[in-house]
Amino acid sequence: MFNIKEILSVTLILFSVIDVLGSIPIIVDFRKKLGKIESEKATLAAGTIMISFLFLGERLLSLFGVDVASFAVAGAIILFLLGLEMILGRNIFKHDDISVSAASIVPIAFPIIAGAGTMTTLLALRTTYEINNILVGVLLNLFFVYLVLKSSYWIESKLGQGGTDILRKVFGIILLAIAIKLFKTNLIL
């Protein structure tokens, strides 16, 4: 059964983790290098990764003998570090150089949109929310990602560097709070 409160919660949590608005400077940089970003291709690839991991992620983890709670705690640590990175403006995670021709998939679709934080969050959400509500939240986020990718230049021109920096810090704080909640919920003492 669809639950509006769960859908809203899932949508906001994923929105914070994906942080497509905070990624506008990266998206704009790749758009300048490529001339354009293939918004449809990037959104479809990210959606495929997210939905596949939502359904197959737990089985994949079981191959390695890892339970969802342990993965969620590990993900909480990653989310915490991502939040710190966003707030402090320091790069904790290194990003490999990629070929410009593949930028719509790597790094836009993966890992910017459907990265480790998103996949960890999807598995953690499965422990708390109904799958159909998670799917609706994923689809709503993919729609928003598509809109942002399509209008990244316009958004950047309206927000300016200061507005983009403020959004990044606000979503960093939200990520820290989500990480702490995931850690508390899944840590078994």
Residue 189 has pLDDT above 70, yes or no: no
Distance of CA 46 to the CA centre of its chain: 10
25: preceding bond cis by omega (within 30 degrees):
no
Backbone angles phi, psi at 36, to 5 degrees: -165, 165
* Identity of residue 59: R
**pLDDT at position 99:** 55
Mean pLDDT calculated for residue range 48-74: 88
pTM here is: 0.74
Whether the predicted pLDDT of 52 surpasses 80 = yes
Q: What is the pLDDT of residue 100?
A: 45
pLDDT at residue 104, rounded to an integer: 74
The structure tokens listed for 15 are 């929105």
Instruction: Give dist(CA 68, CA 84) in Å, integer.
Output: 24
- Tell me: the pLDDT tens digits for 162-176? 887 887 788 788 878
Q: Provide Rg for the chain, Cα atoms.
A: 16
Quote the pLDDT of residue 73: 82
Torsion of CA 150, 153, 158, 160, to 10 degrees: 130
Q: Which residue has the higher pLDDT, 170 or 43?
A: 43
DSSP state of 47: H
What digits encode the pLDDT tens for the residues 109-156?
887 898 777 888 898 898 889 999 999 999 999 999 999 999 987 887
Q: How far apart are CA 42 and CA 152, in angstroms?
A: 13
- Picking from 22, 154, 31, the residue whose alpha carbon sits closest to that of residue 104 is 31
What is the reported pLDDT for 78? 77
Q: Is 65 left (phi over 0), alpha (psi -120 to 50) or beta?
A: left
CA 34 – CA 181 distance, rounded (Å): 39
Give tens-digit pLDDT for 74-109. Answer: 877 877 887 888 788 777 765 555 554 476 787 788
